Structure 1
Amino acid sequence: MKKNKTFDYTQLMAHTIKIYKFLGFWRPDPDMKHKNLYHCYTAFWLSLSLIFISSQVIYMYNSRKSLKEVLAALYITLTFVSILARQLTTYQSMNELKEIIKDLNRPLFQVKCQKHYEIADKTTRNQRLLYNICLFLGLSTDIFAAIFPLLANEKVILAKAWFPYDWTKPFNYFMTYIFQNAVLIWHTLVCYSGDMSTFTLLLHIGIQCDILCYTLNHLDDFYFKDGMLHEITPRDKLEFRKDMEKFSQAMAKNLVVCVRHHREIIKFAKDIQRIKEVDIFILFASRALILCTCLFQLSMVQFGSVESMMLLFFSMCMLTEQFVFCWFGSDIIYKGSLILQAAYNTPWTDCNNRFRKILLQFMTQACCPLNIPVGGLFVMSLPIFISVLQTAYSFLTLLHSIQ
């Protein structure tokens, strides 16, 4: 018999947890040292964020008679408000999120053979690529946002806002420039960490579906011991096949473990939905309006300028974020559907009626689609991404017609 390897799934969240702690959004444990100081650090950044948003709201109110001026500030305001609201909902359920992270390495989720390990390892490498792409887009937007005011023909600031002082004076301008860019970078990292935590959890569902499908497709490559499955050697596999009754009993035990694994996957998906549902709903509810206002602003500036590049990268960030969420949703639906097909590929023709009855019950359970509902209104999937784009285009057309 072969000894199973182990895979540390918590490493998938290690990068995100570090950023959470740096931003001040990792809820401290009761025994954490300097907990009060950490709370002050969190309150400091929240205060800066609220000051930034308030200054833009006041500016839009004062400029309410000019649609162009309102829209010039609206896309940043909506983005920051949605990011902050999403992160606060995550912070509220941070203790539950910590429990889910701890349960990533639960026994049923562990790899049971070399192929399982390769599936988890390959997905981890793909995750790092996704992280790097998202971070590149976010930081590129911040870089162009920082350069834009410096290269402008006249003295301008990153985001149009109201200030209780004359920001055009050299020292005031310098402090305003530092303030706005610091808050922008902070919000970028907040959005990045929140999205990556959700992506990682959704990615984990896909990993477990792949592992379960492989186990079902190769059910006779495993044996049951101490409540778990272990990879079997070719020699022991031949021994099992010699006695068909013994083989049927072994396969029935293996199948029961797969049934439990499937139920754990469903439970894990529901836990993610419960914790992240409001977060994801705010994302979907706000992105269409943010996209259309950003694209409207892009159409108003000279193409090829630094400001246009900033707006272009900003739009790409919004589109990529929305697309990845929807892609993961469709990926979970697709991989969940493969479980039913994999269940049919078990060696049921060589097993007794007890195995077939368990298999029938399992296949009936697997018929229910695995998905991530959002707000009880729709299921996260690629068709929803198309709907968001269509809505954003409709809003953009309306704004141009009003102008």
Structure 2
Amino acid sequence: MVATDIVCKEVRIVEWTLEQNMQQNYDFSSYFRPSIIMLKIFGFWRPERNMKFKGIYNCYTALCSLIWMAFLLSQIIYIINNWNDVQEVTAALSVTVTFTIILIQMMFFYKNTNYLKILIKEMNRPLFQVKCQKHYHIAKNTERMYKLMFKSCLYLSVLTDVLVTVVPLMGKEKKSSIKGWFPYDYTKPLYFILTYIFQNLVFIWNTFVNLSIFMIILALLIQVGLQCDLLCCTLDSLDDFCTKDNVLYEIGLEDKLKLRKDRERFSEEMTKNLVICVELHRQVIRVIKDVERINGTGIFILFVGGGLILCSSLFSVSVVKIGSLEFIMLLFYLICMLIEQFFYCWFGNEIIFKSSLILQSAFNTPWVSCNVKFQKILLVFMLKTSKPISILTGGLFTMSVPVFVSILRTTYSYFTLLKNIQ
């Protein structure tokens, strides 16, 4: 009997140690590393103050930006010169509007990179860490989902770039996949090669920078939704935890039963646990505000011009031969633009849905067995959580599925208008 008690005690000690290690070691910042590496490679990550060769890196960023602006200028001049040709203007417009919107997103993102760096570091704070095995499984499943999404978007982007690069080489005549004006005859062999290299390098650079920014913002949205899930899980089983140094820890069944016997002590512990949950909810709202500040305006511009991007891409698809390599290229480009706007709206909608469940989870706390102090704090908390968390872009649009549906409706209206003009 004594031996059995000793073994059980050792098992509890091992489980407690594993629990503490799990809380301290889960790295939420790992979501951002691949995207940050890509931004550094393509010269669009703001360097640290003590970075070696910072001046050279800034020159590299400036050079990339100048090349980007030259590319965009050639697009604008081409549209002006072919203003009366609907098909040519539409073909150029899909790329021009996309590049313009991405340029605006890049400017706001680069401006607020320092806020993002602080936010990424704060995601590993003890307050945001997993508190039990159930939390850990939820976090791991979310991480697997994000990695799958990242790989899928990366493969789709690379495949689109490959198609854009290969299509001009497959045709008999020297014709670029990307429209643009140049102060020379680019059909001549040497000029065509130089123009081909210039346009495709910029297009690839744009793809990876846009993908990196997109996946970073998406990672933040997913982690906000994850924190809402963890908060609901904690509230549903609030009496399974105790607070130590302002951090929640899971307790065993034996300790839980002992705690239940003393109502005042139980109420005191539950109040401490609830205060931690209230603080977590407050910090989640703060993260949302930071996301709005980092790239909320850029996403707002994307939503405003989203219908035009999708419409021009859809029109370009409709005027080429179905099944041709050019058709496949344009179709993949359209899918990429569609996925970007859809994912923003979908995960914005997920935050609204998951945060709306916090109110019900708060009601599931053992408030009946607690004192008046706990009940008052819980009541105030429930009043705050009665309104779901949402992300505003530009102070007007909420990132949600209905907004995406309205973008699709706008796209169809523009598309119908262009077909009638044609």
1:139 counterpart = 2:177: no
| 1:159-208, Cα deviation, whole Å (9 max, x unpaired) | 12111122111111111111111111100001100100100111110111
* Alignment correspondent of 2:258: 239
How many residues are matched?
A: 403
**How many angstroms does 1:135 deviate by?**
1.1
| 1:190-247, Cα deviation, whole Å (9 max, x unpaired) | 1100100100111110111011111000101101111111111111111101212211
* Alignment correspondent of 1:339: 358
Unaligned runs of 5+ in 2: 1-12
* Alignment correspondent of 2:399: 380
Give the 3-state SS of the residue equivalent to 1:179 in structure 2: helix
| 1:19-62, Cα deviation, whole Å (9 max, x unpaired) | 11011111011111001110111112111111111111111111
**How many angstroms does 1:368 deviate by?**
2.0
Structure 1 counterpart of 2:307, one-letter code: A
Of 289, 293, 302, the match for 2:312: 293
Distance between the aligned counterparts of 1:120 and 1:232, measured in 2?
20
Give the 3-state SS of the residue equivalent to 1:159 in structure 2: coil
1:259 counterpart = 2:241: no
Moved more, 324-333 or 102-111: 102-111
* Alignment correspondent of 1:103: 122
Distance between the aligned counterparts of 1:55 and 1:361, measured in 2?
58
1:190 counterpart = 2:205: no
Distance between the aligned counterparts of 2:180 and 2:245, measured in 1?
64
**How many angstroms does 1:65 deviate by?**
2.1
Q: Provide the aligned C-alpha RMSD in A.
A: 1.1
Give the 3-state SS of the residue equivalent to 2:243 in structure 1: strand
* Alignment correspondent of 2:4: none
* Alignment correspondent of 2:247: 228
Distance between the aligned counterparts of 1:26 and 1:370, measured in 2?
30
* Alignment correspondent of 2:335: 316
> Which TM-score applies when normalising by structure 1?
0.98
Of 389, 393, 408, the match for 1:389: 408
Percent identity between the two aligned chains:
50
* Alignment correspondent of 1:20: 39
| 1:314-364, Cα deviation, whole Å (9 max, x unpaired) | 110011111100000110000000100100100111112221111111101
Distance between the aligned counterparts of 2:281 and 2:80, measured in 1?
53
| 1:105-132, Cα deviation, whole Å (9 max, x unpaired) | 1221111112112111111110001111
* Alignment correspondent of 1:206: 225
Give the 3-state SS of the residue equivalent to 1:105 in structure 2: coil
Query: 1:10, 1:101 within 8 Å by CA — same for their partners in 2?
Result: yes
Of 104, 123, 128, the match for 2:142: 123
**How many angstroms does 1:378 deviate by?**
2.2
Detail structure 1 runs of 4+ shifted over 3 Å in the superposition.
none
Distance between the aligned counterparts of 2:106 and 2:161, measured in 1?
19
1:82 counterpart = 2:74: no
